């Protein structure tokens, strides 16, 4: 191949050539099984090994502490806007939101459908050209959670430090900067990210969630939308995006072989 084009205009964006080549090489016959991983059952040992590896590599590469679960869901980051609100809000409950652009706004909109989103800080009046400073953020300790968008894909702004939310769990849409730099996962109750910008193909979302929040989630919402279902079944309650998880695992192995997230950060 003489000329590769780098797409910096996500949704789906540039992936490392060695990862694409590996997926291509393995596509017709996955490790001597005589079939593509795309033809393999999601309950087959081959896929199970891939799924376990992908979960373990997210934990290893991001330094996820004990007491957190990692799993993969569908519906894009956009479904998470609703799903987290469905799990943690309800009658008389609210989440604090920091409004830093298009994606925060969408998260706020969904939360207001199932509960209440309280805007605790915003840079809307300056057209989202910066992140609100700590002195512009008014958190309410009675909130169920605080929600931020760590990297504002359209506005072009990024949190370089995270707000101190005390005992209130910090929930983060990291769709466009997950694994682009080293972060301290222990500061977060939930990190979610659509894979397609940084980690693999579209259709798979990485969830990193503190176990006490899984338990706290509501039980009177559809089964598939409860974090506990996905956590207990390790993403296999229903048929997962097996190609997405397979590809994600190829990418994570590539990152590990090339020095981990710190090396990605250095390149960035
Ligand atoms: C792209 C993007 C989304 C939307 O992701 P989908 O997977 O398409 O739902 C949400 N949040 C951020 C920060 C994004 O960059």
Distance 237 CA to ligand 1 centre (A): 24
Pocket test for ligand 1, best of 149, 175, 205 (most atoms within 8 A of CB): 175
Domain CATH code at residue 120: 3.40.640.10
How far apart, in whole angstroms, are the C-alpha atoms of residue 86 and residue 127?
Answer: 29
8 lies in some domain? no
How far apart, in whole angstroms, are the C-alpha atoms of residue 207 and residue 64?
Answer: 11
**Same domain for 38 and 127?**
no
Distance 103 CA to ligand 1 centre (A): 7
**Same domain for 76 and 23?**
no
How far is the first Cα of the chain from the last one, in angstroms, to the nearest whole number? 24
The pLDDT value recorded for residue 9 is: 87
233 lies in some domain? yes
Residues with catalytic roles:
103, 173, 197
**Same domain for 227 and 125?**
yes
149 lies in some domain? yes
**Same domain for 87 and 214?**
yes
Number of domains in the chain: 2
Domain, as residue range, for 195: 67-240
What is the dihedral sign for C-alpha 191, 193, 199, 203? positive
**Same domain for 225 and 249?**
no
CB 57 within 8 A of CB 252: yes
- pLDDT (tens, 9 = 90+) of the chain, 268 residues, equals 678 999 988 889 999 999 999 999 999 999 999 999 999 999 999 999 999 999 999 999 999 999 999 999 999 999 999 999 999 999 999 999 999 999 999 999 999 999 999 999 999 999 999 999 999 999 999 999 999 999 999 999 999 999 999 999 999 999 999 999 999 999 999 999 999 999 999 999 999 999 999 999 999 999 999 999 999 999 999 999 999 999 999 999 999 999 999 999 999 9
Residue with CA at minimum distance from ligand 1 atom 13: 175
Q: Ligand 1 within 6 A of 110 CB? A: no
Q: Ligand 1 within 6 A of 149 CB? A: yes
Distance 2 CA to ligand 1 centre (A): 31
Q: Ligand 1 within 6 A of 103 CB? A: yes
184 lies in some domain? yes
Q: Ligand 1 within 6 A of 78 CB? A: yes
pTM value is 0.97
9 lies in some domain? no
Distance 76 CA to ligand 1 centre (A): 7
Task: Measure Cα distances from 47 to 41, 51, 187, 240, 256 in Å.
Answer: 7, 6, 32, 11, 20
**Same domain for 131 and 255?**
no
195 lies in some domain? yes
Distance 89 CA to ligand 1 centre (A): 21
CB 229 within 8 A of CB 237: yes
The token duo for 242 is 């097996």
Q: Ligand 1 within 6 A of 198 CB? A: no
89 lies in some domain? yes
**Same domain for 221 and 116?**
yes
**Same domain for 168 and 122?**
yes
194 lies in some domain? yes
Q: Ligand 1 within 6 A of 194 CB? A: yes
């Amino acid at each position: 191949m003489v000329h590769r084009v780098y797409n910096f205009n996500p949704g789906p964006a540039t992936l490392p050539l060695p990862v694409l080549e590996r997926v291509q090489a393995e596509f017709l016959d996955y490790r001597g099984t005589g079939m593509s991983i795309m033809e393999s059952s999601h309950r087959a040992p081959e896929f199970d090994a891939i799924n376990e590896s992908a979960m373990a590599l997210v934990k290893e590469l991001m330094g996820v502490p004990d007491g957190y679960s990692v799993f993969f869901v569908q519906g894009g980051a956009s479904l998470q806007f609703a799903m987290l609100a469905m799990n943690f809000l309800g009658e008389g409950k609210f989440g604090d939101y920091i409004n830093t652009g298009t994606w925060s706004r969408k998260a706020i909109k969904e939360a207001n459908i199932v509960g209440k989103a309280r805007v605790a800080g915003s840079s809307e009046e300056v057209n989202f050209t910066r992140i609100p400073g700590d002195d512009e953020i008014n958190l309410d300790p009675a909130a169920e959670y605080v929600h931020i968008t760590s990297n504002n894909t359209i506005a072009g702004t990024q949190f370089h430090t995270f707000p101190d939310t005390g005992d209130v769990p910090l929930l983060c849409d990291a769709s466009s900067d997950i694994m682009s730099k080293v972060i301290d996962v222990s500061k977060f109750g939930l990190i979610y990210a659509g894979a397609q910008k940084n980690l693999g193909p579209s259709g798979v979302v990485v969830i990193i969630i503190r176990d006490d929040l899984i338990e706290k989630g509501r039980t009177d919402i559809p089964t598939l939308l409860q974090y506990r279902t996905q956590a207990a079944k390790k993403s296999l309650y229903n048929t997962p995006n097996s190609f997405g998880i397979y590809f994600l695992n190829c990418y994570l192995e590539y990152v590990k072989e090339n020095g981990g997230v710190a090396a990605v950060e250095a390149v960035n």
